[in-house]
Amino acid sequence: MKILKYVTITTAFFFITFSNAQSSIKVSLMEDAEAPIVSKHIYGHFAEHLGRCIYEGLYVGEENKLIPNTAGVRNDIIEALKELDIPNLRWPGGCFADTYHWKDGVGPKEDRPTMVNRWWGGTTEDNSFGTHNFLNLCEVLGAEPYLSANVGSGTVQELIDWVQYTNHDGISPMADWRRENGREEPWKVKYWGVGNETWGCGGNMTAEYYADIYRQYATFMPGWSGETEVYRIASGASEDDYHWTETLMKNVPHELMEAVALHDYAVFDWSDKGPSVNFDEEVYFKSMEQALKMEEYVTKHIEIMDKYDPEGNVDLLVDEWGGWYDAEEEVKNGVLFQQNTIRDVMIAGTVLNTFNNHARRVKMANLAQMVNVLQAVILTDEEKMIKTPTYHVMHMYKVHHDAKLVPSTIKENPQYRGLPVLSVSASKDETGKIHISLVNIDPEKDMPVEFDIAGLGIKNIKGQLLTSDKLQDHNSFDEPEKVTPKEFKGAKLKKDKISLTIPAHSLIVLQGEYK
C-alpha cells in the first residue's frame, strides 16, 4: 500500500513538473548572401533645444569654470558619447527647428538676437549654441551631423544659405562669412531634413501641399558644395499615417528625395502618458503594446515604398522614436524631462531589433532625445552626470553597427497578454564575430530559448545581460550604477544549437565567433 502511494505521488510530481516546464522558444538563424548591412546610422541620436537638453545639459558655456568642458560642451558627456560611437546627431529640432533661424546663431555671441522657444516652455533662447558649436561637437564625437532645416517659418533662400555656409569651399558670401566667423574649412554636411512634422508643429500642412513645398526646397539644395552631395530627408508620417508616405512617394520625383522620415513614440495616451518611474503593470503593458507597433508601422510604410520604388532608391528614416511619459514635475525647467527604467530597456531593445531586421530600407534612426529629455541616454544635475539604462542598450547594441544582418525566425513566440514575448535580431561583422540580441518583455516569466545555428559554425559563446529586479528600477544621481550590464554565462553551445534561459524583463546580447 505504502509503495503504491509513493509511486502515485512521484508520478504526480513528475507530471506536474513536466507539464509546468516551459518548452524552449525555437529561433532559427539562417545566413543569407542577399541580407542587408545594418547601417550604423540606425543608432543615431537627436539633440533639440528643449528643456535641459542643450542648455544645462550638453552645453554649459565656454566660460564655465565649475564643469570641465570643451568649447562649452561637458567633457563627461563627450566621453560617454564617444564610448557609444554615435554615428550621427540630429539638431536643432524637432518642433524647435521650424522656428529656428540659423543666422541668429552664428557670429559674435554678444550680437546674437534672442528668440522665444514657443513650443517648449516659452523660454528665452539666446542663440549661444549655434551652427559652429553643433558642427564642431560632431567633429569631436566623430558623428555625422544631421541638420533639420526650417520650412515652417523659413525660406528656401535661408536653407540654401545654410547649405552654402556649412559646405561651400570656394569664394561665396556664405563661405566668406563662415571664414570671418573662424572656420576655414567647410564641414561638408551630408544629412539635411526638409522641415519637421510638417503635418503638425512644422506648419499643419496636408501631405499634398507639403509634397509640392518639398519639391521646391529640394530643387535648390544641391550644387553649392563641390563634392559634398546633400542627402535630402522629407518630413515624414506619424505612426500609421500611410497616406502621408504614399503621397510623398507618388508626388515627389525620387531623384529629389534621398529619404522619407517616420516618427513614432511609445505613447499610449497623449493626454495621460503615465509616470516615467512609478508605473504599474497595466501601464507597462500599454507602453509595450505601443512600442511593438513599430514593427507594424515600419513594415507597412516599407510596403508602400516598395510599391513606388522597387529599386530601393529612397530610404526610410525613423528620425524620432522612444518612450514618452509625463515629465518629472520637480525638475526645474524640466520640460519633457523623464527618468528611464527597465521599461525603456525593453522599448529600446525591441525597437532596435525591428530596425535591424528591416535594415534593407531603414537606414537611419534617431532616439529622442540624447540628454535630459525623453528616452535620454544621459541625465545631468548640475555637475553630476549619469548614464541611463537606455545608454547601456545603445552600448551593448553597437556591435551591430555596419554588420551584415543574419535573418532570424521565431517559431511560436509565447504571448504576454497578447504581445509576443521574445524579440531577436542578429548580425555578423567583418572581424569574425556574430552577435545575437534578444529581449524578453514578459514582466514575470523567464523564457528558455533555443537557437538553431546550423551552418553558421559558431564557437566560443559569451554574453551580457541587462536587467534588474523591478521594471521600475533605474539609475539615479544617488545610485548611478543600479542598472548596468553584467556578464551572462548561461548560454550553452552544443552542436548546432545555442540554448539559454532569458530572465523576465531582460535583454541579452550574445557574442560568438564564426568560422
Output the smallest distance, CB 369 to ligand AHR, in A: 6
Amino acid letter, 151:
V
Output the smallest distance, CB 340 to ligand AHR, in A: 15
- Stretch near ligand AHR under the rule CB under 6 A, chosen from 68-76, 77-85, 90-98, 438-446: 90-98
57 phi/psi in degrees, rounded to 5: -125, -100
Site for ligand AHR in 33-72 (CB under 6 A): 48
Whether 125 is catalytic is: no
* Selected catalytic residue, list 48, 125, 144, 320: 320
Residue 2's contacts (CB-CB under 8 Å, 6 or more residues apart) are none
Q: Which is nearer to ligand AHR, 149 or 424 (CB)?
A: 149
- The helix (H) or strand (E) run that includes residue 393 is helix 389-397
Output the smallest distance, CB 511 to ligand AHR, in A: 33
Q: Which is nearer to ligand AHR, 95 or 266 (CB)?
A: 95
Q: Which is nearer to ligand AHR, 133 or 369 (CB)?
A: 369
Residue 511's contacts (CB-CB under 8 Å, 6 or more residues apart) are 399, 433, 434, 435, 461, 462, 463
Amino acid letter, 46:
F
Q: Which is nearer to ligand AHR, 48 or 344 (CB)?
A: 48
Q: What is the DSSP letter of 401?
A: T
For residue 367, what is its C-alpha cell?
Answer: 532616439
* Binding-residue pattern over the window 358 to 387 for ligand AHR, x denoting contact by CB under 6 A: ----------xx----x-------------
For residue 297, what is its C-alpha cell?
Answer: 508601422
User: Scanning the structure block, which residue is given the C-alpha cell 509616470?
Assistant: 275
CA distance 189 to 200: 26
Output the smallest distance, CB 477 to ligand AHR, in A: 23
Q: Which is nearer to ligand AHR, 199 or 217 (CB)?
A: 199
Output the smallest distance, CB 202 to ligand AHR, in A: 8
Q: Which is nearer to ligand AHR, 55 or 488 (CB)?
A: 55
Site for ligand AHR in 185-244 (CB under 6 A): 196-197
Longest dimension (CA), the chain: 103
Output the smallest distance, CB 94 to ligand AHR, in A: 3
- The helix (H) or strand (E) run that includes residue 226 is none
Q: Considering only CA atoms, which of 149, 171, 172 is closest in space to residue 162?
A: 149
CA distance 492 to 24: 13
CA distance 227 to 232: 15
If binding means CB under 6 A, how many residues of this protein chain bind ligand AHR? 10
Q: Which is nearer to ligand AHR, 93 or 186 (CB)?
A: 93
Return the residue of 57, 92, 93, 130 that touches ligand AHR, per CB under 6 A: 93
Output the smallest distance, CB 366 to ligand AHR, in A: 10
Q: Which is nearer to ligand AHR, 197 or 315 (CB)?
A: 197
Site for ligand AHR in 277-306 (CB under 6 A): none
Whether 139 is catalytic is: no
Residue 105's contacts (CB-CB under 8 Å, 6 or more residues apart) are 112, 127, 129, 130, 131
- Stretch near ligand AHR under the rule CB under 6 A, chosen from 87-95, 149-157, 458-466, 486-494: 87-95
- Stretch near ligand AHR under the rule CB under 6 A, chosen from 25-33, 93-101, 152-160, 472-480: 93-101
User: Scanning the structure block, which residue is given the C-alpha cell 496636408?
Assistant: 206
Integer angstrom CA distances of residue 15 from 140, 446, 501? 62, 21, 22
Output the smallest distance, CB 48 to ligand AHR, in A: 6
* Selected catalytic residue, list 197, 258, 295, 450: 197
Output the smallest distance, CB 370 to ligand AHR, in A: 11
Q: Considering only CA atoms, which of 254, 235, 258 is closest in space to residue 245?
A: 235
Q: Which is nearer to ligand AHR, 36 or 202 (CB)?
A: 202
Return the residue of 56, 315, 320, 450 that touches ligand AHR, per CB under 6 A: 320
What is the DSSP pairing of strand 88-91 with strand 144-149?
parallel
Site for ligand AHR in 95-154 (CB under 6 A): 95
Measure the CA angle with vertex 417, ends 472 and 295; round to 5°: 85
CA distance 48 to 111: 23
CA distance 370 to 53: 7
Return the residue of 94, 105, 186, 443 that touches ligand AHR, per CB under 6 A: 94
Measure the CA angle with vertex 414, ends 410 and 418; round to 5°: 115
Binding residues for ligand AHR (CB under 6 A): 48, 93-95, 196-197, 320, 368-369, 374
Residues with active-site annotation: 197, 320
